[in-house]
Chain A
Amino acid sequence: MDRSTLSRRRFLGLAAAGAAAALGLPLLRDIPSVAEGRPGARYALVIDTTRCTGCGACIEACRLRNHLPEGVSYIRRIVKGNSRNPWFLMIQCQHCANPPCATVCPTNATYRREDGVVLIDERLCVGCRYCMQACPYQARVFDEERGVADKCWLCLPWVLGGGLPACVEACIPGARFFGRADDPSSGVAQLIASGRAKPLHPEFGTEPSILSYIIEEE
């Protein structure tokens, strides 16, 4: 065996390793930190704006559970109506079935689980902020410390363990309802079936699949 074949073999070997590494990169996400546990589950979170007092307990609870810095939360409050008769729209990730954030993400870091929860694999996120621009609900925040995009993840480890998202636990006026949409006897499934709870801004075409709102027509 002469030297040229050796080096060619070595080169081919390196190339193959490189290709395997490149193909393997997107597979990183298949090692989620949360256990897959509830097959067939589809979650729903209904926010009743007629009950919401805008107190912001959900905002703070979200911040504390997710160890976010002061003033940062996955939930944002929008004041609607007029000064005499205001009402509050709490915005967080709507977990769309057709998420534009995932479409525009150049690294495939944002993905949607089978149960409808949209997650960010922060090991893939390069921090370009394109997803923040593409989200019509402006539901994303930027983690300055780690340089990646961040958003509501429905407190997935708690939910998979049978618990509740922090915002639902903390809601003082009981304006947040959480449950399984695939169980017709659950409260949220009935709210959705009755047509009272509706997705926010369906005209965006993103098909929010977990969040829906009860809004009194003005």
Chain B
Amino acid sequence: MQTAWGWLPAIYLFLGGMGAGALMVAATFEFYGKRYQYDFCPTALVGATVSGPLVILGTILLIFDLGAGLREPWRILYMFTHFSSVMTWGVWLLTLFIPVSMVYGFLEYLDSFPAAREWLRARQWLGWTKFLWILPLRRTKRVFAGIGVVLAVGVAIYTGILLSAVGPAIPFWSTRVLPFIPIPMMPVLFLVSALSTGLGLTVDLAATLAVGPMEQRVKSLPWIHMAFIGVETLLLGMLLITALVDGGSAAQSAREIIAGSHAVVFWVLIVIPGFIFPFVVHAYAAGLGRHSLVSGVGSGIGIVVAGLFLRYLILVSGIPAAL
């Protein structure tokens, strides 16, 4: 078992993924017009405003995890310089994603609350920003949402490539999609998981709390959710099977996950709350068209918690290649 990366990296990989996923969901609602079906769209609002702070929190944790970065903070600047390193790509992506998502969140906030817009406009000391008010709010917001989505996909994928790039050192992390397809699984799995946790946070959790079950607004949501859970189950299954087929320490990692020292985390903290429970809830909602507050909030929390433990599980089950 690798010991260099523990809980802290798991949390910031998770926060980066969920923040990116939340922005992707908000931008999807924006571009497909769902955002404007009702006066107030909690999914777009929460997705846009929360993504920046989540990724900022993750980045702060990342900096806290650096051994020398806290003592001599200028060394963090060196992290922008070495482009063969996936971590350098990540630092650039985070640096670009944070301001774009913060602006997008701010514009979405202004769009959602006209009173806040008026309040801001009436401030004397903001007089110098007058030239900005001639910009069309929604079109400007869309520009930032568009750039944000591209960066969000980058951030979500980067958290996976970071692991798969270690290559033969930790074979489980560089497991391919299928034994004969030379694409690493982690970026794919982390992208889908980012979207899934983003959906869980903005649709199941936030929107259910704000305006009641979202399924009343968007009829296809239970199906989308079930599709996501299905794809994620498929990817996890492919990961474990490919790792078992690969043999060696990758297979050992897979065995520890399925029935070894990490089995409790996998089955009790990931599969049940993040897969089985939300799937049943959404299947029920799709079949009967009913969706209660408790099941919406419950599946939201379950998906988010499972997303966090998935990152943790992948990190702790990384076993270095045998020498």
Contact = CB atoms under 8 A, between A and B. Distances in A.
A16 B4 CA distance: 39
A148 B68 contact: yes
A127 B67 contact: yes
A137 B66 CA distance: 22
A134 interface: yes
A105 B167 contact: no
Nearest to A128: B66
Interface in A103-118: 103-109
B2 A133 contact: yes
A160 interface: no
Nearest to A108: B82
B321 A204 contact: yes
Nearest to A26: B81
Nearest to A206: B168
Contact of B323 (A126, A134, A200): A200
Contact of A104 (B65, B77, B87): B87
B4 A146 contact: no
Interface in B68-87: 68-71, 75-79, 81-82, 84-87
Contacts of A56: none
A133 B4 contact: yes
A100 B167 contact: yes
Contacts of B77: 22, 25
Contacts of A104: 84-87, 165-166
Interface residues of B, number: 34
Nearest to B320: A138
B interface SS class:
loop
A89 interface: yes
Contacts of B5: 129, 133
A42 to B, nearest CB: 24
B4 A100 contact: no
Task: Give the most central of A108, A143, A201: most B CB within 10 Å.
Answer: A108
Task: Give the most central of B68, B77, B81, B165: most A CB within 10 Å.
Answer: B68
B81 to A, nearest CB: 6
B50 interface: no
A164 B139 CA distance: 69
A136 B5 CA distance: 15
Given A127-B66, A127-B69, A134-B169, A106 B4 contact: no
Given A100-B169, A134-B169, A135-B169, 11 more contacts: A22-B77, A26-B81, A100-B166, A104-B86, A104-B166, A107-B78, A127-B67, A133-B166, A134-B166, A136-B169, A136-B321
11 contacts: A105-B85, A122-B68, A126-B78, A128-B87, A132-B4, A133-B5, A133-B166, A134-B165, A136-B168, A138-B323, A148-B68
A-B pairs, top 3 by smallest CB distance, nearest first, are A127-B67, A147-B67, A107-B78
